[in-house]
Amino acid sequence: MSAGQAELDLGMGGQRGSAPLPITSSRAAHLWDALCQAYRLLGFDEVADDVFRGLVCARIIEPTSKIDSGRVLDETGVAAPSYPTLNRRLPLYAKDAFRQRPSAACAAHADLGPATLVLYDVTTLYFETDAGDGFPGARIFQGTASGASNYRRVAHRRDGTPVDGAGI
């Protein structure tokens, strides 16, 4: 309110509270909608299910573990699949037959032609440093940078079939 401005009387009477109203829920609709649109543009909606989409989008929002991806989705305001559902689906997602489908969708979206698509998985980087990053609550480690703890290269042809190291 501006100085000298009176409170708007809505004629509702009753008690006035000095405490702010509680937030009962929130939804990061713009973020979620943008991620889902990118997911559709890549063609992933044609090759995978909603559980896979939840895992992918949650890990884009915050790189985290599979169990914590549910928390990320909940905080985003999206219904998260249960942990037992994730555990049932992950063996399917790990099979070459499934993994070829998103790879083929990426290659088709990029219009690679006969070229090879090389994907790098560097989702769990681990660094040690003797100085903090300036964020509150940041942990300080002793030592030097140790590199990636999980580093994998996967190459696929346009049709999604994997390429061995000699074919790259």
Average pLDDT, the chain: 76
* 167 band by pLDDT with thresholds 50, 70 and 90: very low
| CA atoms within a 13 Å half-sphere pointing along the CA-CB vector of 159 | 2
pLDDT in tens, 27-42: 899 999 999 999 999 9
pLDDT of residue 73: 95
pLDDT in tens, 114-141: 777 666 665 555 556 666 656 554 444 4
Helices (H), the chain: 29-41, 44-47, 50-61, 66-76, 83-94, 96-109
The answer to whether residue 1 scores a pLDDT higher than 80 is: no
Contact yes or no for 60/72 (Cβ under 8 A): no
What is the rounded distance in angstroms from the CA atom of residue 87 to the CA atom of residue 20? 40
Tell me whether strands 148-157 and 116-125 are parallel, antiparallel or unpaired.
antiparallel
Maximum Cα–Cα distance across the chain = 79
SS3 161: coil
pLDDT digits (tens, 9 = 90+) for 69-106: 999 999 999 999 999 999 999 999 999 899 889 888 88
Where do the structural domains in the chain lie, given as residue ranges? Answer: 27-94, 105-168
Position 65 pLDDT exceeds 80: yes
Quickly count: other Cβ atoms within 10 Å of residue 161's Cβ.
12
Cα–Cα distance for residue pair 55/86, rounded to 1 Å = 9
Does pTM surpass 0.75?
Answer: no
- pLDDT for 127 equals 57
